[in-house]
A and B are shown apart, each in its own frame.
Chain A
Amino acid sequence: MAAPEKTCGKCGTVNPRGADYCYLCQAPFGAGTPGPGVQAFAGETGGSGNAAPVFKAAPMLLFPDAQRHNVRMSALLFALLVGVFFLLGTVIGGAYGDVGNGIALSAVLCVILGGAAYFNGSSIVLSLHDAAKADPERHRQLLNVVEEMRIAAGVPMPKVYVMPSAGMNAFAAGRRPEEASVAVTQGLLDGLNREELQGVIAHELAHVKSRDTLYNVCAAVLVGSIALLADMFLRGTFFAHRGRSFGGRRGGGRANAAYIVLGILLALLAPLAAKILQMSISRQREYHADAAAAGFTRNPLGLASALSKIAAGGAQVPGENRGTQHLFIVNPLKEFGPGASALMSTHPPTELRIQRLKAMAGFGGV
């Protein structure tokens, strides 16, 4: 394959055509000398089978922009989620005659549920998927790749786990970079080459570095709490008609009919809206982590190639469920086609993620 790009002789990084030296390791380029013997040194790149790329611009400039945009979007969505939660609390409080109590109730629920999830976090998820500590001998390459990527990301070395599943997937957990865990399936290790594995690990460490793992927990708790609040309200109202009101009879007399109608409406809509928002945050963060991963590896094509292999090879992991599906690099439960960017999807369509990654590498209108 006579590729027009320049593959760095030192580190295997793909550079734009006009480059004088590698932007990653700064090794110089001669006229058309991507040494073939070097390939073995930089890690086997067998069969990634990418079409000959046409580079248009230096990709490095794009990484920070993509990151900033995604972080802004996520912050906005997260604020909206909190807003919905407290609006619901206010209305429910109003329906029972005391707005303050409603807000207090939602705050207390938020803290209790949040605390439980916050302090239990990753160990539950890890045991759910039979994750075992990576073996220093057998998983030497995996540990090396994680170490490489954590250096590139500038985060502490995470704990590394391997899940026995043959499906190809990976996730990161842990609320702070200092206590993060990264888990990959055996299927992923078997199916990906070094370059692709780097991309996946970089993606997971991007989640860790940007505290997505923490956001995931918080967002899940908020959604759960909203659903719980709405449920309590609906049941409470229902019982109230039979003369047994939830939340105390004391304020019942001052209950406002308008609040009750509004409350019922909100209790029905809020959980749905919250879920949609959560999924939307999750989708934005996947794009962000992809962009950040490209920044760490300086090689968007590695992750792009990994994603297409995962999409083709199947991402199922035993123990998967609705509670943890958003943690994985590709949703283990369902895969949406390029056209179906469903509102309730945790991940953007893999096809679109691959397209964006390729665009970062300078593929124009892919």
Chain B
Amino acid sequence: MAYIPLALIVIVVAWFVAAYNKLVRMRNQVKNAWHQIDVQLKRRYDLIPNLVEVVKDYMSFEQETLTKVIEARGAAIAAKGTAAQAKAENVLTESLKSLFAVVENYPDLKANQNVAALQEELTGTENKISFARQFFNDSVMAYNNTIQAIPSNLVASLFNFTTETYFEAPESDRAVPKADLR
């Protein structure tokens, strides 16, 4: 009979440890997911100069489009803070879209193996950025759920686990996008 309170204490402690460890794992996953986004963004920065180099010779009179891409890339790299970076990245995405739309008008360019390969790479990278953001948000949701739900919220508040914020495009970016391509 005397063992019952002891067993209860052991069970409670074991649960606390398990809940704590789970929270730590989830928090680390959120951080990792965030940095995965950076990895893909960096990839895109690296790919753009190659693309510009290949495309440049073909489209001398589309200089404006190319300049926009290069400027957007520079702005995205320079951007500081989540909101500013998200905004700059979206501008870069838009400029790449208009570049590819222009490529459609040049049959030679479209048929070029290097351009096709680069286009596939950039499409892939673009998707990876989206999916990395998606996974980040999913991780944040799972983590926040655990922090806020009973009973794991006890452990969370005790050890100071705080909710993470979702990745969101800034409000100003939700305006009508320009779709005057092609």
B residues less than 8 Å from A40 (CB atoms): 100-101, 104, 119
Of A21-29, A100-108, A124-132, the one touching chain B:
A21-29
B120 within 8 Å of A (CB atoms)? yes
B residues less than 8 Å from A28 (CB atoms): 169, 173-177
A residues less than 8 Å from B98 (CB atoms): 37
Nearest-Cβ distance from residue B91 to partner chain A, whole angstroms: 12
Nearest-Cβ distance from residue B134 to partner chain A, whole angstroms: 6
Q: Which residues of A contact B (CB under 8 A)?
A: 9-11, 20-21, 24-28, 30-31, 33-38, 40-43, 140-141, 144-145, 147-149, 151-154, 194, 296, 298
B residues less than 8 Å from A144 (CB atoms): 120-121, 123-124, 127-128
B131 touches A152 (CB 8 A): yes
Supplied contacts A28-B169, A140-B121, A151-B135, 19 more A-B pairs, CB within 8 Å: A10-B126, A10-B130, A11-B126, A11-B127, A24-B130, A25-B129, A25-B133, A25-B134, A28-B177, A30-B177, A33-B177, A37-B181, A38-B179, A41-B100, A42-B127, A144-B124, A147-B128, A153-B135, A154-B29
Chain B, 26-69, contact with A by CB distance < 8 Å: what is the 0/1 string? 00010001001000100000000000000000000000000000
- Which residues of chain B from 68 to 109 have a CB within 8 Å of any chain A CB? 90, 93, 96-98, 100-101, 104
Q: How far is the CA of A27 from the CA of B134 in the complex (A)?
A: 13
Q: Which residues of B contact A (CB under 8 A)?
A: 29, 33, 36, 40, 90, 93, 96-98, 100-101, 104, 117, 119-124, 126-135, 138-139, 167-169, 173-177, 179, 181-182
B97 touches A11 (CB 8 A): no
B residues less than 8 Å from A145 (CB atoms): 124
- Closest B residue, CB atoms, query A146: B124
Q: Which single member of A20, A43, A152 contacts B174 (CB below 8 Å)?
A: A20
B residues less than 8 Å from A9 (CB atoms): 97, 177, 179
Nearest-Cβ distance from residue B42 to partner chain A, whole angstroms: 14
Nearest-Cβ distance from residue A68 to partner chain B, whole angstroms: 13
Report 11 cross-chain contacts, Cβ distance below 8 Å, ordered by A residue: A11-B126, A11-B127, A26-B133, A26-B169, A28-B175, A28-B177, A41-B119, A41-B123, A140-B117, A151-B36, A296-B131
A149 touches B131 (CB 8 A): yes
A residues less than 8 Å from B138 (CB atoms): 154
- Closest B residue, CB atoms, query A150: B131
**What 8 A-B pairs have minimum CB-CB distances, sorted nearest first?**
A30-B176, A37-B181, A144-B124, A37-B101, A28-B174, A35-B179, A152-B131, A37-B182
A31 touches B123 (CB 8 A): no
A141 touches B130 (CB 8 A): no
Nearest-Cβ distance from residue B104 to partner chain A, whole angstroms: 6
